[in-house]
Chain A
Amino acid sequence: MSMLPATINFGHRAQALRPFGGRLSRLIGIRRMVVCAGLVVLALGFGLLTLASGDFPVPLGEVFRALVGQAEPSVQMVVVEWRLPRAALALLLGAALGLSGAIFQSITRNPLGSPDIIGFEAGAYTGALLVMVALGGGYLMVAGGALVGGLVTAALVYGLAWRHGVQGFRLIIVGIGVSAMLTAFNKFMLLRAQLEVAMSAAMWDAGSLNGLGLDRLLIAALLLLVLIPASLLLARPMAQLEMGDDAASALGISAERTRVLLMVLGVALIATVTATAGPIGFVALVAPQLARRLTRAAGVALLPSAAMGALLLVAADYLAQRAFAPTQLPVGVVTISLGGMYFAWLLVAEARRQ
């Protein structure tokens, strides 16, 4: 592996890597790498905490043994069957939320262009609710409903915001309007639904990882193991799109096709989350912004946003379980509170700067 020092001063530490006799080449931003690694380690740490703590505490050593299938059956059941789905889902869904937020913030070139703000999450929830109330379907049908709901909403918002192409700010304003209407419609549906359907749907309304089992984990993991790498593959064209359609096209990118592909992936990610755990607010909005502050990267970065999303959700879920134990909060309540605090801090920081 050749480790040539970059001879260009990038204004940040960067390392050119050209292993295999130059058949593979990458330029690695050192800070970005360190931040990503740190976030992943922290996120996995919270994941382990989730596995270890609860009404029935399990020492970390036992947790590891349970994970490789060598613990007592009772410990095995607690760690693997009860707690693992929750911890793993928190990590996976968090990464999905971070990615989805990053995609839409990049497309709209606006830090507010996140799927929970511009109505795609509400639309996914509408789709899921319609399936639950009208068809009473299982998880896969609900997930399908969420996906269709999210895509229809995205198409609607995109279409309404279209005027010789889509401009980010108009998309956000239209999205906020559509989001408000869909939220009202969702409430209306809950009020009109049969009591037991409404009860379960309302529980889910706040976004919760509570009581999700291995079956959910399996399906969500399968979906996300396709969607997450597919999104990461589009990181470079996405970054080029941030320079404007003309500049991106001049560099060999089909702007409109890339954007539609990114939108479909972004909606699919948020729909998977919504179908699995209900609408979880603020992670998609905040994760890319925090990741950017830490990496000091230009534009929106997908990988750090995913890592930050995973950390935020798994940490928020740990708080949701432990803060008022034995009472369990829906994780959506915690993320919204954390999001509120983030905004308050942002306002104070802005005010101080002026």
Chain B
Amino acid sequence: MLHMTAGEKVFQFFLILFITLMSVAMLYPFIHLLSVSLSTPAEAIRPGLHVYPLEFSLEAYNKTFASSQIWIGFKNTIFRTVAGTFLALFMMALTAYPLSKKYLPHRSFYTLFIVFTMFFSGGLIPSYLLIKGIGLINSVWVYVIPVMIQTFSLLVMRNFFMEIPSELEDSAKMDGAGDFRILLSIILPLSKPIMATVGLWQAVNHWNAWFDGMLYIQDPSKMVLQMFLRKLIVSGEEQEMNAIMNQAPGVEIVTPETIKAATLMVATLPILIVYPFIQKYFVKGIMVGSLKG
């Protein structure tokens, strides 16, 4: 900062000003929503900036958390995130390990078999009919099983395994350890960084996923949080909104605006809270993620 010419100083000033404005544009919608969710109905529709509520109320959260549907949504979302992520890591490690070995017979054929699916698929209707045909409609496993392996993540994992020196496995082989043992006791402990990255990708995808639920799940007791939000906010279904607004009558009133803001915050806050701690793993993963044929 010290050895800059006057021109560079002016440039730095405007650069920092511009980037600050951009950051405000990125963050403001979330601050606005948080503020509205904590407001009284009159405050919620006040014109102008909403940085913090001038008239504070927790009633929207009271009603939201009193709704059984939001808890059902949370339960199913947590199920798919936890079960889906661990199952995906297991399946992907299992598949990536053999593919990382140059001596695997027909290795390039199996790799092509997998990579081809990134670029060509049957389309929505054939996939829908398949899921229907194998009886996964209205089963919570439809959230987890069809997305057990993500091809891009699989290839990232395979590339990481390829970098592990094979000498490390040799002594275990001498001792007669099988391939599965080697994967579990040698490869996986060395692959913690890539497992963290890929695991977090899967977890965020599962937390945010909604389309599979919309296609395959009709039973309200199996709906995920995002699906519930979609009904409330995007499709604007009054039945769902009234179910929240009319329950557990409190002293204060609520409006659809504050309820919407509160439910959106409830689904977003978990991500906002863990985000500062995990975002560096995502960025690292992108760097490792260069595809090699």
A-B complex is real: no
